[in-house]
Chain A
Amino acid sequence: MSNTPNIQTIFFYILSEGLFATLALTALGLLIGFAIGLLLALMRVYGPTEIGWFASGYEKIFRGIPVLVLIFIFSFGIPGLFSYLEPLERPIAGVILALGLRSGAYQSQIFRGAILSVNPGQMEAARAIGMNGFQSFRHIVFPQALRLAVPSWSNEYAVVIKDSSFAYGVGIVEMTRVAFDIAANFPVLMPLSMAIVAILYLIFTYPVTKLFGERQTKKLKDFGMGGG
């Protein structure tokens, strides 16, 4: 780029070069987090006490370590990790793993809270018509728990997409990295570039949290939708 970039070029450059990476990192991180979180929540709610401690311990550890540190640990810290990948691809896997492990700790709390919020009478009624434990959970408790979890989960989505910006420092080209690189040669434009990418992040967080956040789901509950 020989000439100074203007607002439009910055905007479209960030979108075209960085958006996909950001969304991919976020989606995969949330997915791994979902699997881990659900598993841990089930362990804490339905499992024996010792397993519950393990799950609780996992939560404490991955909530207490800064996500940036986690990213560095899994991208550069463990020799031999992801050795089957190309060196350039390893940080990507590292970031996804870090985001996933961290999100798992938070989603575990979300699902645990949601499952416990479902009226115990529901489980009783399911058993009363002859369903076994697994069926009652899968068909009766789980669907309701999912609905109850929506507000907190939309918040978690926002957190993960913001955390994906930390991948900037390990060589992954996502939105923040692009925004930085564009203005790297023109420090004067840095705040502008940052403001533009900030707007992009807002576009992906604000509508979601507004639509699926606390107040909206309360309104939906009034109409009979929603859990318990």
Chain B
Amino acid sequence: MIFQVLPQELLDLLRVLEFWDHILIGLAKTMWLYVWALLFGFFLGLLLALLRHYGGRILSRIATGYVEIVRGTPLLIQLLFIYFLPFSINSFLDAQGLPFIPIGRWSIYVTSELFGRTMTMVFLDHITLMGILTLSLNSAAYQAEYLRGAVMSISSGQLEAAQSIGMSRRSGILHIVLPQALRRVIPSWSNEAAYLPKYTVVVFYIGLTELFAQAHYIISETFLTLSVYIVVALIFLVIITLISKSLDILYKRTAIPGL
């Protein structure tokens, strides 16, 4: 009887949530991609930022070129480029009679049963690797901009003072400039860190079953297109807000007077 009183939209929503296992796996995949992309993007981005600011003419130009190209082209194009690159290289190698790069159907995964549903989470396979690679290379360019801004904002007197007591340039950058720059970058870096999950949806186009892809599966089973998309949109909103707030707290906890 109750089910006749509830509005249609709510019923639709409940129907979508029946597929909670698919949503869960999709979400897990999205977060998996996000975390690795953020991490690799950070270290590569840091390297790029330091090369741009402290590197010699050649290295700093290369780093700048990389950042400008990645930031000036769509993520989708970068994904397709990287995804199809092994095929091209293999064709070329094949024509030369050389052995080619294996793009086998390998997979590292975990299957488990929860509340009567079986779920399989693939941690690493060829397309996941391509996805993480592309997202990392892309995020690195954007993170490099933030990090470079923070490094530039540290006055050159800090490095001079470090050198004046006998620290090498490298030691000074590592122990004096970097700690200050990393603390300063947290507000703008939080921006990138909080919004990066959004960009993981692009891997849908190479067949990775992250949240958006799972949404399409559910749509094909229920035809409740709008409700499914809205659920997905809400999930993203919640994740982004959570990450944003957590980073805010982190920033306040690590505050140093005057920095």
Contact = CB atoms under 8 A, between A and B. Distances in A.
Q: Do chains A and B touch in the complex (CB under 8 A)?
A: yes
Interface of A: 60-61, 63-70, 72-73, 76-79, 158, 162-163, 165-166, 168-169, 176, 179-180, 183, 187-192, 194-195, 197-198, 201-202, 205-206, 209
A198 B73 contact: yes
Contacts of A206: 68, 72
A202 B230 CA distance: 34
Contacts of B76: 165-166, 168, 176
A125 to B, nearest CB: 33
Interface in B197-225: 198-199, 201-202, 204-205, 212, 225
A195 B81 contact: yes
Given A180-B80, A188-B87, 15 more contacts: A64-B240, A64-B241, A66-B199, A68-B201, A68-B202, A69-B232, A69-B236, A73-B230, A168-B76, A176-B77, A190-B81, A190-B88, A194-B77, A198-B73, A201-B73
Nearest to A194: B81
A66 B72 contact: no
A166 B79 CA distance: 12
B173 interface: no
Contacts of B19: none
Contacts of B88: 187-192
A197 B212 CA distance: 26
Nearest to B227: A77
Nearest to A202: B72
Contacts of B212: 66, 68-69
Given A73-B233, A77-B226, A162-B75, A64 B198 contact: yes
Contact of A165 (B68, B72, B74, B230): B74
A165 B199 CA distance: 13
B80 A64 contact: no
Contacts, number: 108
Interface residues of B, number: 36
A179 B79 CA distance: 13
Interface string B5-23: 0000000000000000000
B233 A165 contact: no
| Closest A-B pairs by Cβ, 8 of them | A190-B84, A165-B74, A194-B81, A162-B74, A66-B198, A64-B237, A205-B72, A198-B73
